[in-house]
Structure 1
Amino acid sequence: MLDNMPRGTICIEDIEMGMTRSLRKQVTDRDIEMFAEVSTDRNPVHLDDDYAQDTIFEGRIAHGMLTAGLISAVIGEQLPGHGTVYMGQTLKFLGPVRPGDMVYAEVKVVDIDHAKRRVTLETHCAVDGKKVLIGEAKVLAPSRKFD
């Protein structure tokens, strides 16, 4: 299940401080299996119920980078959107995401350098209102001048 705002592009000329965009996605077993396949990260904490029960998580969890990928989806599809170039991202993982969890991913504009087309975004993901990931992204935003 994916619930998000309209996709597209917000050019640097239209980006404003405090702008936010978000999406919600339920993380499924299939998502975790596909991420393991594509990333080749087959750590049993993600894939093996019996193994995961004996870890600090007491059950299977999604890959942290799968969760972080939802931030990338908001940036690449909504704010700034299509044509955005990722320059950097910091991540701090605060809690696990489990199969079946509904993840809310949000980005917020906290700094804009119009001359260089650079935007800094505060980023986070939450489950049931509790942040599970926080960070900051730096991106190069698209511009109407380069269409």
Structure 2
Amino acid sequence: MVADLKYADIQVGDSASFSKTLAEADVYNFAGISGDFNPIHMDEEFAKTTRFGKRIAHGMVTASFISTLVGMYMPGRNALYLSQEMKFVKPVFIGDTLTATATVLEKIEEKRILVLETVIKNQEEQVVLAGKARVMKMEG
């Protein structure tokens, strides 16, 4: 269900989260869409020879969870994603359960913009992605 928060009701400190377990199909589907078939993502034998010892998910698969946060949870309906700063902190593996959280850091009233802290953690509570987003909330 898509959140339908009103800009006036959103306060600094408000947050929203969702979780998803990353499936092998997610990695294959992203490769098909993006054209990124790097063997670190796609070839188990090659990935075994890397310092990770197994395939890692595309960083942008993980980053796409921020888009889900913006469009579905915080602020949800009628949000326009303006920008994202991010750092990939740790690799994400197929089978990891990721929890993405957006927390309101600032409201810019005259432009109806929210500045969000964006964090994604794995099932071990380790941060795998951290950043800051700017989002415009456009009412219906």
> Do Structure 1 and Structure 2 share a fold, with TM-score over 0.5?
yes
1:58 has 2:53 as partner: yes
In the TM superposition, what are the counterparts of 1:57-136 in structure 2 within 5 Å? Answer: 57-127=52-122, 128-136=124-132
Match for residue 2 of structure 2?
A: 7
Aligned residues: 139
Q: Matches of 1:22 and 1:142 in 2, distance apart?
A: 21
**Structure 1 residue 66: deviation in Å?**
0.3
1:22 aligns with 2:17: yes
Q: Which amino acid aligns with 2:39?
A: P
Preserved contact between residue 24 and residue 104 of structure 1 (Cα < 8 Å):
yes
Out of 121, 136, 139, the position equivalent to 1:140 is: 136
TM-score for the superposition, normalised by structure 1: 0.91
CA distance in 2, matches of 1:91, 1:55: 24
- Point out where structure 1 has 5 or more consecutive residues left out of the alignment: 1-5
Structure 2: which 5+ runs fail to align? none
Distance between the aligned counterparts of 1:133 and 1:62, measured in 2?
13
One-letter amino acid of the structure 1 residue matched with residue 42 of structure 2: L
The C-alpha deviation readout for 1:71-130, integer Å capped at 9, x for no partner, is: 110111011111111110011011011000000100000000122101000001011100
Contact in 2 for aligned 1:22/1:104 (Cα 8 Å): yes
CA-based RMSD of the aligned residues comes to 0.9
* Runs of 4 or more consecutive aligned structure 1 residues displaced over 6 Å after TM superposition: none
Distance 2:61 2:135 in 1: 20
C-alpha separation in 1, matches of 2:8 and 2:39: 46
1:88 and 1:56 mapped to 2: Cα distance?
32
